[in-house]
Structure 1
């Protein structure tokens, strides 16, 4: 076995380990299982929409491809190896691009996995890979990118049993004063459209409620979409804006059991 092949096998095992670790975190950390949640760094990246495609964590197919590459190296399947070089390297570049351009935050573990992927691709390309395999791998990465860009956006909220267990609250501060009132959740939540901070007309046909955090990257991105929505339908859409900081330094109302999210 050549030194180049041995290096590829070692890197492939590293890729399997890193992708397996990231998948474990993605599936077991409840904060990461909902896209858009997380305070920053690893949580922001692993909890973003770019960490999934059609509801599947992207590290799952990554594990499969690394497994295929290991088999291709051990049993000398040139087409399969070429496919893996292109798909692993292309995916690494795509997700580095997503962190730099879309998220502007970085997960060290993800970047380590991408570095391994780039190394695998560079060494693999020195092995005179088959053109058909490279084209197939590039097409797979292109399909992944299209699926994330145009496919369904993962849900960014969760309805928990704790939230459902609350009884009818007393008259909320959000409905105080004169003006138009709207109610949600069977009347358990009421809001005064006329007096609360909002964008859009208080007489709009549809009223949305946004709970947001000024330091939350996902909220910051969503604000642009909501502003564009109101601008497009100024008479039909109104959005009530309610800030809910998740940093204990900004919000003394967080429960003692809530660790909070510094920087959010």
Structure 2
């Protein structure tokens, strides 16, 4: 190699090494790469979390670091006085290494374009270095080896890596967990009812069922407050929902003494027309110590409240595995339609709003979750649309806020975001997340088991079919 080409080769190897080292560090630390927000075409997280980003379970950037570090080290000996045999061997190893990097670049660029249909600029930069290294090697090295043998050798090595990836089955990325108490024949005897509404001011307005107030009878001038209180106590309890007959309605304006009211009430309230209040729909999920029961009306819901089967999902809007599971859930909706619904609970893995979160990643997750809850509180009918939009690709907080304003209006959204309600709701999600074991998301919670990790569509549909057959909705 000439001195000019040696300098170019060293600079390209150094650039590829630094980029690969950064990608390897991000993969090991589970950190998103910088400056690579999701879009229709550019989405680093989609690429770097795919099956093709690993070989034998190891991020491909790790062997890339080894390759470029080796090449850079060997280049330190190039151009120095050495025995001819050593120079030939050095030239051979460097040329095969450069061409291996070039063929590997062709493979991974092809995967991004044809299979994943998303691009990672960091990956493309490293692959471009590999392509340039291979071109410099081909134009520099002709003798004593020739282009064809060197090209075939590089193709063989890169092809071996591609074959390993192709033949490696997609691993199961989820784990099914059954709590200890659910493994016994009797199961757990106690169930915890968990509701997020300790105070009515935090309940969304459209979830509060307004109970019409009954018109109070007009008090007679001589009636005492004690008599009025006694008369109120004689009214039927709400749970019984007894129906007043037309006779009682006609007599209600009359001036009656407390005793007469009591007698008429006893005669005119017929138990034969009692109408039981329908039992509230509840969803049971496994906690770490005992089952937990939720009222779907209290939580964000995807699908119809009248669905035959409802389960719970916990997720983080910045989590790529949660995005994969969201795609599977959409596929399940396509298969089961209105027969299923999902209680969708954003659980940010950001320390700012989740005391159980570990690590320092998932920046912006708290704000994205608050925006989603604010949309749900403004208009429950718009929540699923916004939820799916957030999961379509990586979203910034600014873009998410604009989309939320477009859906529910700027003033409505601002009123919710300025209130403590969305943050308090997220706090309840976190408490529930701790009660079911915290740890990894996504979590899918069924009646007797939880599924942790990314779930593919077919596996999820099989789980739902099994659950619907064994534990149909009440």
Give the TM-score normalised by the residue count of structure 2: 0.39
Deviates more, 1:244-253 or 1:11-20: 244-253
Q: Does 1:134 align with 2:236?
A: no
Give the match for residue 171 of structure 1: 194
In structure 1, stretches of 5+ residues that fail to align are 157-167, 255-259
Preserved CA contact (<8 Å) 1:96 1:111: yes
Aligned-residue offset at 1:32: 4.4
Q: Tell me, what secondary structure is at the counterpart of 1:210?
A: strand
Q: Does 1:152 align with 2:175?
A: no
Deviates more, 1:127-136 or 1:11-20: 127-136
- Separation of aligned partners in 2, 1:217 and 1:103: 16
Give the match for residue 118 of structure 1: 131
Q: Tell me, what secondary structure is at the counterpart of 1:240?
A: strand
- Separation of aligned partners in 1, 2:330 and 2:174: 20
Deviation string, structure 1 residues 20-60 (Cα, Å, up to 9, x no partner):
23323333x45449xxxx96478625752344334322111
Q: Report the RMSD for the aligned CA atoms in angstroms.
A: 4.7
Runs of 4+ deviating beyond 6 Å: 213-217
Q: Tell me, what secondary structure is at the counterpart of 2:313?
A: strand
Q: Does 1:48 align with 2:49?
A: yes
Aligned-residue offset at 1:225: 2.9
Preserved CA contact (<8 Å) 1:54 1:151: no
Q: Which has the higher Rg, Structure 1 or Structure 2?
A: 2
Match of 1:60 among 59, 62, 69: 62
Q: Tell me, what secondary structure is at the counterpart of 1:251?
A: helix
Aligned-residue offset at 1:238: 4.6
Aligned-residue offset at 1:183: 1.3
Preserved CA contact (<8 Å) 1:11 1:120: yes
Give the match for residue 435 of structure 2: none
Preserved CA contact (<8 Å) 2:193 2:293: no
Deviation string, structure 1 residues 229-262 (Cα, Å, up to 9, x no partner):
5666x49x956151638362661699xxxxx962
Match of 1:91 among 104, 107, 125: 104
- Separation of aligned partners in 2, 1:116 and 1:139: 19
Give the TM-score normalised by the residue count of structure 1: 0.63
Aligned-residue offset at 1:138: 3.1
- Separation of aligned partners in 2, 1:251 and 1:240: 19
Q: Tell me, what secondary structure is at the counterpart of 2:367?
A: coil
In structure 2, stretches of 5+ residues that fail to align are 79-86, 142-146, 176-190, 198-206, 208-278, 349-364, 374-394, 401-474
Give the match for residue 118 of structure 2: 104
Give the match for residue 287 of structure 2: 185
